[in-house]
Chains A and B, each alone.
Chain A
Amino acid sequence: MTEWRFWLAEQRGTLLAIGIFVAMFLIYATNHPAGFSANMVQTAANKATLLAFVAMAQAIVVITAGIDLSVGMILTLTNCLASWIVVGTATETALGVAGVLGTGLVCGMINGAIVIFGRLQPIVTTIATGAMYYGIALFLRPNPGGSVNETLADALTGRLFGVLPTSLVTLTLVALLIWVPYSRSVVGRAAFATGSSEVAAYMSGAPVRAAKFAAYTLAGLLSAIGGLFLTFFSYTGEAAYASGNAYTLFSIAAVVLGGVSLMGGRGSAIGAIFGALAFRTIGDLLFVFDFDPLWQPLFQGLVLMLAVSIGAFGLVRVRNRLEWFG
């Protein structure tokens, strides 16, 4: 009984995110002209998966009370790189994929190293490294173009057994293979500890530096998986500055919708995934409601506002005003 309550308390953010997503998706699905079909789910899944990877990346860093404003640019960079090297025979393609993931890993490591050893504030560090990653992306792809192994791309953006979107399966696998072990490892828990109180974590002998380094590195890796997926999804690479930035900002929104505390120490990448799915559904809602095109951005803004305000309703229950301050 009490065990159940503790579990609920731990998972509240994630559950709320799932709730918001399910509610929105139901509204979307029931109003969709094509109805609740495999195609429609696949379309929604493919679009959302990308953001989900980036949101996971962001969540892992945010849990350490940091922030990574370069995730979108790592996505862009790895997208450009993948459009060069994820081609050819199966072996070449596999090497290419490894290269892309490795690049993401290295980008994340650079962020981590600067934040930890340079002792710089993550926000401005990642603004700066983000600019650098974008610069490299632009070197790689001064023009949109390139190609990707289409067999692999189609497999990963298609459907399993005709119903299950492969992208969702991949997302689940990544969550299971990266997030679950990480969050239950010593380093992962140290990441939570660091985010909650860095001094206390250090004093307690938790591996603070390793935790931060692992977080930024994993963020790089996950962004790279996002970049890879973008390539699979679009068959090309493009050094798009605005879109990179958009992903970064969206990832923050997704993380918050997913119940991850921006103060650090609380939340899960699973929550962030659902936050991403929910955020993407906001965009999809445009499709099923007949708004004047020029009023669509306003509608999206208002829905986002509403979604992020849901957490504020809990405030009514707070009877000790000191709890405002977390």
Chain B
Amino acid sequence: MIAAEPLFRAEGLSKRYGGVIALDRADLEVHPGRIHAILGENGAGKSTLIKLMVGVVAPDEGRMTLQGREVAFARPAAATDAGVVCIFQELSLIPDLSVADNIMISHPPTRLGMIDRRRQRAIAEQALHRAGAGDIHPRALVKDLPLSRRQMVEIAKALARRPKILILDEATSALTASDVSKVFEVLKRLRTEGLALLYISHRMHEIAELADECSVFRNGRRISTFAAGTKTDAEVIELMIGREYKHAFPDKPVRKSNGRPPALQCKRLGWGDRLKDISFSLHAGEIIGLGGLDGQGQRELLLALFGVLRDCRGDILIDGDTVKIDSPVAAKSDHIGLALIPEDRKTEGLMLPMSVRDNLSAAAFDRFATFGIIDRQRQSALIDEMIRLIEIKTASPDLPVSALSGGNQQKVVIAKWLMNRPRIILLNDPTRGIDVGTKQEIYRLLRRLADDGAAILLYSTDYDELIGCCDRVLVMYDGAIRRELAGAEITERALISSALNVDDHEPTEASVG
């Protein structure tokens, strides 16, 4: 459909990992001045394609051309030099360096062989502004920034490299709506400047807003490429998952009060100045959402409940009894029964090099060990059951989790806690970077768990999720619960306005994609 010579072309790219075919003779054309979206289920091979493109891994077969010349980048640095820049799904920022250092890591301005920090800082500031993240201090250490800010730094870093082709592999997955809109403006501007953009995301509405053309991948192959807007969401999703697509969210049952005390209740919970007088109750069978802009204390609230934070004020009641939770060990004990699905699966949820078996066991030793001695049979039985139940795609439970795709890794994190049969489940953005199909499975799973009597507290950066999944939503702002929404009150408009701490009846200026 586009006549002009493509800027970049890949032909017959394949990549095998042991028995797994990650990419199977895939091809792709990228044109300047266009945004090309790539869609596909978890494990479809999207990230693998990108890694081949920028030389992180070498293809088993196939060839790539850039501006008509054949290329094979040996290292990411070589790709960067040639103008192919990627923001990887796994962030590639260096935690102990400053934001400015990170942005200019590969080509800093130098004077007399030393880095010219003054100029570096100026360039970095400029790049941050271009990425719409002027609020980030260039001297701040990356490790001190929340995840959403880090992703903005990634984007600034990519921009500072003056790319010809910019690849974003789920670069917006941790961003809040307002950040996303800023990033989109930047991307659109880059498009007019003639850049070629490859955009990978699981968020359909982002793609609808942004893309000029879309390619759908399935099982390592490119299934279809079409101009954006020529297919409905449902059609696209069916292409992705290869079967018929049903309604995204399970029905919410009408919950009847049974007069029992709430499974979890907070009374005036506080922590430093990050959490202020949080009070709410969560009943068995209920799913409560936590909303609000990122970084308003949601993460801290979950951590406080899970016993990670010290010196918390206020009370936490489980089944009506005040309890003291001072560690995850206490939190998961039988009489409390908490579970926390953490935010960052790579560093907090998983031991990446260890097997699926070990990861699934880590939180639930008590279920198959007596006096600390593991009953192998019981362990295997439980694990096999859980892998079936959650439908984790792995050749064997003895494979390292690092070999699973992002979505399946996330399933392992959830399954790990389900192994322990928790009664109260705290989830910190569990569907980040997860494809629609898997998301649906997770939604159904959450509802099923709730129906079976679990109490669920779900933080999500995705408003659709809050609307579709939750019985009630607590919107947080600046460490406090700004508003509680229930039932039909949970609308995008209500969520956004309370997140921005403005009155519901005034129009909001935040545009959501």
Contact = CB atoms under 8 A, between A and B. Distances in A.
Chains A and B touch (C-beta atoms under 8 A apart): yes
B143 to A, nearest CB: 8
Contacts, number: 97
Per DSSP, chain B at the interface is: loop
A159 B80 CA distance: 53
Interface string B95-119: 1111001100110101001110100
Contacts of B80: 205
Contacts of A193: 94, 97, 101, 105
Given A203-B56, A207-B77, A319 B271 contact: yes
Contacts of A195: 96
Contact of A189 (B92, B95, B97, B139): B97
B94 A265 contact: yes
Interface in B117-167: 117, 137, 139-141, 157
A6 interface: yes
Interface in A105-150: none
Nearest to A324: B308
A206 B103 CA distance: 11
Nearest to A261: B96
B309 A6 contact: no
A207 B80 CA distance: 13
A321 B309 contact: yes
A197 B95 contact: yes
Which of B97, B98, B115 has most A Cβ within 10 Å?
Answer: B97
Contacts of A197: 93-96
A305 interface: no
A6 B140 contact: yes
A176 interface: no
Given A205-B105, A265-B95, A266-B96, A319 B272 contact: yes
Nearest to B111: A184
Nearest to A322: B308
B97 A185 contact: no
B303 interface: yes
A265 B96 CA distance: 6
Contacts of A200: 91-95
A202 B93 contact: no
Contact of B114 (A3, A184, A203): A184
B193 to A, nearest CB: 22
A205 B117 CA distance: 19
Given A197-B93, A206-B94, 7 more contacts: A6-B98, A185-B113, A193-B94, A196-B94, A204-B92, A265-B95, A321-B310
Interface of B: 56, 75-77, 80, 88, 91-98, 101-102, 105-106, 108, 110, 113-115, 117, 137, 139-141, 157, 271-272, 303, 308-311, 327, 348
Interface of A: 2-3, 6, 9, 181, 184-186, 189-190, 192-193, 195-197, 199-207, 265-266, 318-322
A-B CB proximity, top 8 nearest: A205-B77, A265-B96, A203-B92, A196-B96, A205-B106, A184-B114, A6-B139, A200-B92
